[in-house]
Amino acid sequence: MGIISSGFRGRRQAGNPALPPGQHETEGFPVLTAGPAPNIPLDEWEFFISTETGQRHAWSWESFMALPQADIRADIHCVTSWSRLGTSWRGVSLDVLFEDVQTSCRFATAHSYGGYTTNLPLEDLLGGRAWVAWAFDGERLERAHGGPARLLVPHLYFWKSAKWINGIELTQDDVPGFWESNGYHLHGDPWREERYS
Ligand SMILES: Nc1nc2c(c(=O)[nH]1)N[C@H]1C(S)=C(S)[C@@H](COP(=O)(O)O)O[C@H]1N2
Ligand SMILES: [Mo]
């Protein structure tokens, strides 16, 4: 064990390649919510997508669960600097939900039960990069973490993964959501450290 191996160890400590700049790994799963966690009975739950023409696509819990389901393995990165590597989820790809949606909009606002909103470019929701997830680690998603279902967009900071998701409103312009109106970045790519605007 000489200079070479300690140098190697130092480099590994300085940068796990799975961790975006300024992030550290956590084993736990912190709960971060602005305000109380809403309680949504499954028979009242709905997921919608609305477009610029006023068209509205909507799924009940039953019709949502009948869609093709995906198992997702992803690293998640909170802007407050914790990351969890290799988390596992189950849910429906936004590609499936957008199959019959016609739009020329380039942006989306995710609306949550309870009033939370967050904005994303539509393209960040498509291409196998975003899901409506209802299970975590093989169990129903806990209410504190967004159950019955939350948006999961792991390639962006975790504030974009709206808990208690109710629907997606498509918009022509990029309209700041809750945290984005309070100084967070409009886009939120952790690899570019798009933390604040
Ligand atoms: N509806 C809603 N979704 C939300 C939030 C919130 O306050 N309300 N917080 C966001 C933030 S800042 C983070 S870091 C993650 C935290 O998810 P967790 O509590 O499951 O760790 O949820 C995001 N989604
Ligand atoms: Mo966050």
Query: Looking at the domain assignment, is residue 69 inside a domain?
Result: yes
Query: Looking at the domain assignment, is residue 184 inside a domain?
Result: yes
Residue 114 alpha carbon to ligand 1 centre in Å: 12
**In sequence order, which residues have a C-beta less than 8 Å from that of residue 164 and are 6 or more positions away?**
37, 38, 40, 112, 113, 114, 116, 146, 147, 148, 149, 150
Nearest atom of ligand 1 to the alpha carbon of 113:
1
Instruction: Provide the terminal-to-terminal Cα distance of the chain, rounded to the nearest Å.
Output: 46
**Mean per-residue pLDDT, 17-45:** 95
Query: Looking at the domain assignment, is residue 12 inside a domain?
Result: no
Q: Where in the sequence is the domain holding 171, given as residue range(s)? A: 24-30+41-192
Ligand 1, atom 7, lies closest to the CA of: 33
CATH number at residue 64: 3.90.420.10
Of the listed ligands, the closest to the CA of 80 is 2
Ligand 1 pocket test: which of 26, 29, 32 has the largest number of ligand atoms within 8 Å of its C-beta? 32
Query: Looking at the domain assignment, is residue 108 inside a domain?
Result: yes
Q: Is 145 in the pocket of ligand 1 (CB under 6 A)?
A: yes
Q: Is the pLDDT of residue 5 over 70?
A: no
Residue 183 alpha carbon to ligand 2 centre in Å: 13
3-state secondary structure the chain: CCHHHHHHHHHHHHCCCCCCCCCEECCCCCCCCCCCCCCCCCCCCEEEEECCCCCEEEEEHHHHHCCCCEEEEEEEECCCCEEEEEEEEEEEEHHHHCCCCCCCCCEEEEEECCCCEEEEEHHHHCCCCCEEEEEECCEECCHHHCCCCEEECCCCCHHHCCCCEEEEEEECCCCCCCCHHHCECCCCCHHHCCCEC
Which is nearest to 107 in space by CA: 154, 52, 165, 161? Answer: 52
Ligand 1, atom 16, lies closest to the CA of: 32
Residue 158 alpha carbon to ligand 1 centre in Å: 7
Ligand 1 pocket test: which of 23, 81, 158, 181 has the largest number of ligand atoms within 8 Å of its C-beta? 158
Query: Looking at the domain assignment, is residue 11 inside a domain?
Result: no
Nearest atom of ligand 1 to the alpha carbon of 116:
1
Q: Is 110 in the pocket of ligand 1 (CB under 6 A)?
A: no
- 62-113 pLDDT, tens digit per residue, is 999 999 999 999 999 999 999 999 999 999 999 999 999 999 999 999 999 9
**Mean per-residue pLDDT, 121-150:** 98
Query: Looking at the domain assignment, is residue 13 inside a domain?
Result: no
For the entire predicted model, the pTM comes to: 0.93
Give me the pLDDT at residue 68, please.
98
Q: Is 84 in the pocket of ligand 1 (CB under 6 A)?
A: no
- 162-180 pLDDT, tens digit per residue, is 999 999 999 999 999 999 9
Q: Is the pLDDT of residue 13 over 50?
A: no
Q: How many domains in the chain?
A: 1
Query: Looking at the domain assignment, is residue 171 inside a domain?
Result: yes
Average pLDDT, the chain: 93
Q: Is the pLDDT of residue 129 over 60?
A: yes
Query: Looking at the domain assignment, is residue 117 inside a domain?
Result: yes
In order of 3, 9, 55, 95, the CA distances from 123 in angstroms are: 47, 39, 19, 10
